[in-house]
Structures are given as C-alpha cells and as structure tokens.
Structure 1
C-alpha cells in the first residue's frame, strides 16, 4: 500500500509534463465533469457516464450501440439502474435513495485516487452486480475505501437483465435482437474501459473483474465468452457465483412464446414489435423466466461445459463461496419435514431425477442431523445444505478442477465469519455476506451484520488486502495483510486447497473428502442447473458412489483426518 502511494507522489515530482487527472475528463464523444468526493481519503469520482446508447424503442433486446451523448456532462450523480424482469421485484417496490430504475440504464461510474495521473497505470477493478440475472442488487455501492486502501481505479456499471437482456427466440434474432444482450452490455463496458480508463489513471492491461452472486457468474461468463478477440481483462474474482442457467435455442423459444402469450402479443402479426411497443413496466413478467443463453456464438455450451472443454481465457482467478450459501434468500424457512424439503430441492432445481436418485439425495442431505432454530422449519437447514452444494460449492469446485487441470493459477476460499445475530437465527455466513468484508461498513446497502462494526471489524482489513493484492498483482499474497496466512493456489481435485476465512482463525484447509464425494454424486444436478435437461430425460445419480460417502472423512484438515461419521452439524 505505502509503496503505491509513494509511487504516486514520486510521479507528481518527476513528471511535470504529464498532467494529473482532472475532474473534467474528455472521453472523446463527451466530457464528464466529476468531483473529489472524499478529500480526506483523496478519492475522485465520475458518475452517470454513458457507455452505450439507451436500449429503448427498436434497441430494446438489441446488442448495445455506441453512446449518443455529447458536450460537457455533469458527472456527480449516478445514472439509472436497469429494471428487473419481474413486476414484484424489490428494486421497484418503493422509492430508494440509492438508485432509480429506468430502461435507459447503460451507465457506469469511475472512482480513482485524486492524486492519480494519466500515466499512473493504476490497477483497475470492474465490479459486476448480482441479482440472479433478473434484477440488479448491488447498484451504486461506494468503493471509496477500496480505492483509497488499494490505490486502484474502480469501475461499476449497470447491465440489462431478465426479459430486457436475455429474450431468446428465432424472431428476436430475425428482428435485430441479441439473445444475450445483457452479456453484450458487459463486453461493451469492458471495451469502454480498455479504450478510456487511461484518462482516469488506470491501466487497461491490468483490469481485473470482480462480481458477487450473478455478478460472480458474470465474471466466469466473461472468461468463457468467445469474442474472437484478445481478452479485455487480466484476471477475475468470482464470489458465490457459478450457478447460471443457460438455455439452448429450443428452450429459449419456449420462454419467448410464454412472454408473447403473457403479454397478449401471441396473435400479433409481429410479436417482437408488439413486445417492443409495451412500456418499460408493462413488459415485466412473473410467469416467464429469462437467463443468459447458449447462443451458438458467444457460448456454444453451458458455462461449466465450456471450462471442461478448455474454451475460456486462461487468466488467474479467485473463486469461492460462503459456508451457508443456502440459508438466507434461498431455501424456504418453512420447510418442516423431509418430504417437503426434498420436494423443494428436486422440483425447483431438477425434476428429471428418478425415484432412486431422489432416495439417494434424501440419504445424502435429509437424513443427517442438522441444527434447528426457533421459528424456522426443522428441515430448512437440510434443504439449505443441499442447494449450497448443488448450486455453489460444487459448481465452483468443478470449474476450478478444470483450471487446475490446465495449469491456470486459481485460488479458492470458504468464507465462514461468525456473526452472533446471524448464527442465532441459523443464517450463518450466508450467500454474499463476504462482500461486506471487501467493501467495508456503511458503503453498500446497509445489510452488513452488526458485528462487522465491532468484533468482526478486523476481517475487513484481511479480506480487502487479499482482494486488492490480487487486483494489483494477480496474486493475493503479494500485498496481503501483516501476519496473514499465505494463500496456497488450488491444485486440483485431489488436494482441493482453500483459504478458510474467519476472524482470528483464517487458515488454509481443504474441501473434505466427504463433501467432494457428494459433489461428484450430485454432479448431474449441478450440470442441469447450468443447462436444463431436455423433456423426457430421466437422471440417475450414482448409487455406488453415494455409498462411499458413509465412510468418507468430513475433515477439512490439509493432512487428512479421521472419519466424523454422518452427523453434519456445524459442517457448513
């Protein structure tokens, strides 16, 4: 950290012919007047920067086009955030002082050290929002502390999701649309960064992607995208990502027809024109679902399959998940018996399982003891453990197995910080809670656990140092916090190294042999989350493999350990 700040100071003394980054920045098509937003931390920001034309009218569903704004623009307020796919989404449930929703939403913001110069070549991090590809859940978070601590340039942006970003159908393509318009937005953003970030003091050759949840999956999707060009980034951080349902053309067509019917456009002479004529809110639907698609262009297969085929950019990565990925926001807290819990896992996630496979799943996840909590169903945690494995832990492991196979540097983590209030109600370290350890308190959405202001405050310094070290060096160890443990790279399916992150207890461990076996057993389900099976397919889980779980060790110690039986209490 100190060396980077010294470098900036030295540059200021010995480069008089190179101007410092001004708050008025010219990006060619327009000039953006930003401001110093924190004089104490010395951070400047440019907000509401248009990186693509408004995707409205005939550009609804189309690939992003070049910006259309000109002149000098006040860049002290954020642009709009892209609208959600469903009419009941929380982002439109009422006024929000953090963001506004509008279809004209292809805007970004840039944060940089105030002392940066146009030749500083500072590392750049591009943040991808989460929201399940149906909403934008991380709009306008404040990265001031990250920028100041890490001396990095930070870019965040909004991209189309749901029906606006992933409408798939033959008519969409024929009508000038792009079935992965939302992912095209992400690529357009990265092209903008590559072209303009130098003007803000950033280095276009040192861009690292970072995302949480669907944002984490987006990072993996960018790594796997076949753009036919050199990658626009040097590395990626995938936080609690991996699960992204990608439909082939026939399944996408089903959802397109669903929307036509849902919006009374099925009888129109031009169904696509009918959908484009609807206003921004009228097109939202709770009956049809839209995700990134297997389009035969950017993506010829599902995400994990592309990594299996070696079809991805070979860049260093950090990937990991939170210990209780399936609790908060995921498994219904009312599940009170094993039948209902198993039904939720199977019906909602993979209805192709045979009866024998359902029995195997029941043995693996419904029979082992789990803790219970006041006001919660007795089998809520059983379902939560199952979906955490199937949807996140195992998918991340599967991707990293291929990275290790190909000799690509990758680091895994398990985030297990204990917050007393979350522990008391059974949430544990829930899906995406680790984001608060990177961003810090009072900088995001106000959802940080109370202990992050007190007893767990030290974890912020530890995690942020690992993350910013990776952003600067593509290695989380180079600038890690003082006395922090060295983070060993993930070496493959047999060793399964990971950094266990917990306040005053961060250490290296591994995914246990038993969990690795469970991941192997449920692999067909994990794959089906990535690419839904065709109608009529019956999925058989491997019973012989499942039988081995009983004798497998639950130890996460790197040197192995004794078998702990089938009581999974406290395992996740």
Structure 2
C-alpha cells in the first residue's frame, strides 16, 4: 500500500514537471487537478457522501471510495439555495442538494508531508446562500504565499438547519450544516498531508455566517483539536437575535411541513425544500436557522468564552466600519426604538442632525450586530488569558460605501484574499491594492505563526481585557489607534447589559 501510494505521488510530481495535470492520492481515491503557474488546485472533492435520499437530514456520512482517477478540475455543486441576485460574491455553479465538496490550492512545489500551514475558509451568506465557488474566494494567492488553502460547502437553509416532529421521532434534527463543517475539518486532518499541509497547523476563518461558524467551532466539543487558530470576520458574539431551541425549531419545521413523517420529509422534491428561502426572505415562517442543539451550539458565544468553554487558540476578530443592515432609514423611527435612551443615541449618531438616515441605520445596526460584540469577544478572550487581536476594516470600496459611511458588510473579503481583480465592479485603485496587500499579509502571518505581526506590516498589539484600541485597516494604512467608535460601543454595551 505504501509503495503504491509513493509511486502514485511520484508519477504525479513527474507529470506536473512535464506540464501534465497534477495528481494526488487521498483516502477515498486518486485525483487529477490543474496547475496555474506556481499553484496547483484540486476542486470538487467529496468529503462526505451525498446528503440526499436516506441521507437527507442525517449527520454527514462517509464517502465511498472510487476507482480510477477522479477529475478535480471544476467546482462541485454549491449547496441548494434560492437565487440572491445582489450577492457581491455570486456562486459559479448550479446549486444542488448533492453538494458536500471542498477544494484545495497548494504551492506547486509542495510535496506530500511538507508540513505547510493550512487555512480553511467557511463562507457566509446568512446560512441560506453562498458557496465555495465565487471568484473572489479563490485560494490561489494564499497558496502563492506558502499556505495550503481549503474551501468548503456545507448544507444551507432547511437542508442544513432543520428540526421537525417527524425527525424527532427518529432522534434526528439540528444543525446539519455545522456538522458538515466539522466533517470537512476531519477530512482535512486525515488527508491534508497528501497536499503538503500540516494537520497540526490548521487555521479556520469565515465571514458573517462563516464568522458565526467560527464561534460555533470554538465551542463545539466535536471540533476540538481540529484547528489551531481562528479568524472571525463580522461574526458577532452576543445574543442579538433569539436563538431557537430544538423544540422551538421543530415547531417552525412543522409549519413548513405539517404532519409529515421522516420518510415523507425525505421524499419531498428538492425544489419544495429549497423554496424561495434566501437572504431576501430569511423571515420565512418555515425556517429556524441555527439552533441550540447541545452538539454544535451550546450557548451564546460570549457566554461560552467567559465560562472557559472555548478552545484555547489564538483568535483574530473584527468587523467593518459600516457593517450594518439599515432596515430602517427614518431617523425618528430609529431613535424612537431606543426609548428612554433616544436622546443619548441621537447625540452619538446624529449630533448635528445632518447624518443621513441610511448612515444612521447602518451605524446603529453595525454597532449592535458586529462591532461591539467583536470588541467584547476580544476582551473576554483576553481576560481568560487567550491571545486575541481586534481589527476594523474601513476602506469604503463598493459603490454603497461612501453613502453608508464606510466599508459595508462583506466588502473586506477580496482584500483578505488579495483577489480584488476578481470582484464584481470596477478595477481596483492602486491604494486599494496596497490595503489588500497589508490585510492579506496579516492573515498569512497569522496562519503561519499564530500572530499577525511580521516583516512588512505595522505592529498589531494584542487586545486587553479593557481594550479601547483597534487595528485600523483602511486607505490611511494599517495602524493601531484609539477606537473612534468607543463612545458608541460603550453605549451599546451598557444597553446590552442593562446598565
């Protein structure tokens, strides 16, 4: 067996040197990938059995081994979802229920057992949209910089987060999408050495729903030991929304499919389960979202951190300067919602009365959902003796950036990936490329060493239990400064804690 594997890998390396397609041998079979300059990629690799038929609404099942060499030059299907046209990172596949695939990029010179650091990307999309195929999620430039990069799909919407009395009768239901993420990390542990990666040096990172997934992985017992560093981009941390229990999620599931047994649920057509659920219709009465299942989500992230229930690993955490969702833009209505604190809120967010309703709606929602919770998580982890670094991304790149007053939600992603040329919209400006260069370098440093500091980038001090400073990443360059949002964040903290 060992001789056969060594021969397969040697042949793959010889073929690559001759310009032929690169190959790799993993536990489930042989793969044929593609080369692009100094980087090799393998796409559409199944890490679990197709979650269809009898596997629908079950924990991810093992992949069946294949014979021959599997083509790994194209993305596998992203997970079933309804369209979301405004997405700044549109998927490039036809989404399907059969979707548990991952992708690997590595330096072309990386040999099996090379012990390169590994990073795993978990996409956002509100747990109802997204996938690993968007152009800006390419792992090419991480591999260019000496990192083995992995991106994954996980079940979304009602496929990924579902409870129902019919499933409860079989002892099933819960956060299947989170279980998929853990299964993918187990795949990485078992197979990444064949791509030159070090299973003992794995960083996980994600944004929005992916950032929330990071906070889940930090507390999930089954995820312990599968990663060693974490980057949380716009992941929150407080209980800003009511987290359903399994019981309440089952009642929601019953509204979607009243009276059905587990067998009848699994027989539902794919388009019926997918429906119109997307980030434009997340209030769907038949969808609960992630729930407290006692297996992946044990409780509110900051409470788990304070109780010492999170993995003891280095963490980078932060948010964007205009990271909110301005559902209401009428300033009077926004401030009226603060009740007795309305005047205080107005002084903080619209002191001279000239701030637009769009900006006020953006700022108030961003502070509550992402910016203050990131500060709290960094402080809490620091107080527990963990290494944590906090950032604020502030380059107003998109067309909406200036109108919203900063960097909108998710706009930092192509900077972290150094893939600005692949994003939707106009070509990047020279100053943007410099911002991307710095942010990407911080991320690569952290993946390689466990700290973002290093040659070529400004110093980034650790957070403290009472931190009022933040690492700014914007057009003025990276720098560590007193947080200009401190008064706002203190106000949010006081209200959240009922002080």
The bucket for the TM-score relative to the shorter chain is 0.7 to 0.9
| Paired position in structure 2 for 1:317 | 315
- Does the C-alpha gap of structure 1 residues 284 and 230 become closer, same or farther in structure 2, counting only changes over 3 Å? closer
Q: CA deviation at 1:404?
A: 0.5
| Paired position in structure 2 for 1:34 | 33
| Paired position in structure 1 for 2:295 | 297
Q: Indicate the structure (1 or 2) with the bigger Cα radius of gyration.
A: 1
| Paired position in structure 2 for 1:490 | 463
**Is residue 51 of structure 1 aligned with residue 28 of structure 2?**
no
Q: CA deviation at 1:213?
A: 1.1
Judge conservation of contact 2:123–2:207 (CA < 8 Å) in 1.
yes
| Paired position in structure 2 for 1:364 | 345
- Does the C-alpha gap of structure 1 residues 372 and 50 become closer, same or farther in structure 2, counting only changes over 3 Å? farther
**Is residue 225 of structure 1 aligned with residue 201 of structure 2?**
no
| Paired position in structure 2 for 1:156 | 151
Q: CA deviation at 1:57?
A: 1.1
- Does the C-alpha gap of structure 1 residues 457 and 70 become closer, same or farther in structure 2, counting only changes over 3 Å? same
| Paired position in structure 2 for 1:64 | 60
Judge conservation of contact 1:20–1:116 (CA < 8 Å) in 2.
no
Judge conservation of contact 2:389–2:461 (CA < 8 Å) in 1.
yes
Q: Secondary structure at the match of 1:456?
A: helix
List per-residue Cα deviations over 1:546-569 (Å, max 9, x = no partner). Answer: xxxxxxxxxxxxxxxxxxxxxxxx
Q: CA deviation at 1:409?
A: 0.4
Distance in 1, matches of 2:132 and 2:295, equals 29
Q: Which runs of 5+ in 2 are unaligned?
A: 1-8, 14-21, 276-283
Match of 1:183 among 178, 181, 191: 178
Distance in 1, matches of 2:315 and 2:387, equals 7
Superposed, which structure 2 residues align to 1:68-467 within 5 Å? 68-71=64-67, 72-84=69-81, 87=82, 89-90=84-85, 98-136=92-130, 139-140=133-134, 141-148=137-144, 150-175=145-170, 177-227=172-222, 230-242=224-236, 246-260=243-257, 266-268=258-260, 270=261, 272-285=262-275, 286-326=284-324, 330-332=325-327, 335-339=329-333, 341-342=334-335, 358-361=339-342, 363-365=344-346, 368-369=349-350, 378-419=356-397, 421-441=399-419, 444-446=422-424, 450=426, 452-467=428-443
Q: Secondary structure at the match of 2:63?
A: coil
Judge conservation of contact 1:169–1:253 (CA < 8 Å) in 2.
yes
Q: CA deviation at 1:21?
A: 6.6
Give the root-mean-square deviation of aligned CA atoms.
2.7
The aligned length equals: 467
Judge conservation of contact 2:219–2:298 (CA < 8 Å) in 1.
no
Judge conservation of contact 1:411–1:489 (CA < 8 Å) in 2.
yes
Q: CA deviation at 1:169?
A: 3.8
Distance in 2, matches of 1:143 and 1:364, equals 42
List per-residue Cα deviations over 1:486-505 (Å, max 9, x = no partner). Answer: 0001011x233321112243
| Length-normalised TM-score, structure 1 | 0.76
Q: CA deviation at 1:123?
A: 0.5
Distance in 2, matches of 1:362 and 1:452, equals 41
Q: CA deviation at 1:267?
A: 3.9
Q: CA deviation at 1:430?
A: 0.9
| Paired position in structure 2 for 1:505 | 477
